Amino acid sequence: MITLADLRVRAMRALAGAALVVASALPAVAGGGGLPGLYTITDVDGKPVPAAAKLTIRFSEKASFEGFGGCNHFSGPYKFVGPITAQSVIMGPIRVTKKSCPEDVMSLEHALLRALGTAHTIERADDGAFVIADDKGKTTARLVFKAAD
């Protein structure tokens, strides 16, 4: 005969096992698996970023990011959901300083901020860079990050 105490023990073991499976699928750090650090942004809207632009983004372990878009600084929260191989990402709301710069610099910065604001997934590319894409996976809303020196 199974007692109520036995049922409770079995239920607790089952819940502990389920929690272990869920925990192993989630990133190890707040915000997302192994991403925290400083990155150089090398691609925006499917186009290479000129090295002189020096676009950067830093992800913290506390689920926030900050960066430089060529003219202005930006920052905001981020959150990853799902397995590390292909996580869904939520970035924003994004805060931005309000300096004005030449039109070509502002155009690149606006494309970067639009790409970050519409980010939907993040994956590690074969070359080790992180690729962020919109919900359609289109190159027009994709950023490629490489660890900064």
Question: pLDDT, tens digit, for every residue of 123-139?
Answer: 777 877 788 888 887 65
What's the pTM? 0.70
Question: pLDDT, tens digit, for every residue of 75-133?
Answer: 999 887 766 556 788 889 999 999 999 999 999 999 999 999 988 888 777 877 788 88
Domains of the chain from N-terminus onward: 28-147 (2.40.128.270)
Q: What is the 3-state secondary structure (H, E, C) of the chain?
A: CCCHHHHHHHHHHHHHHHHHHHHHHCCCCCCCCCCCEEEEEEEECCEECCHHHCCEEEECCCCEEEEECCCCEEEEEEEEECCHHHEEEEECCCEECCCCCCHHHHHHHHHHHHHHHCCCEEEECCCCCEEEECCCCCHHHCEEEEECC
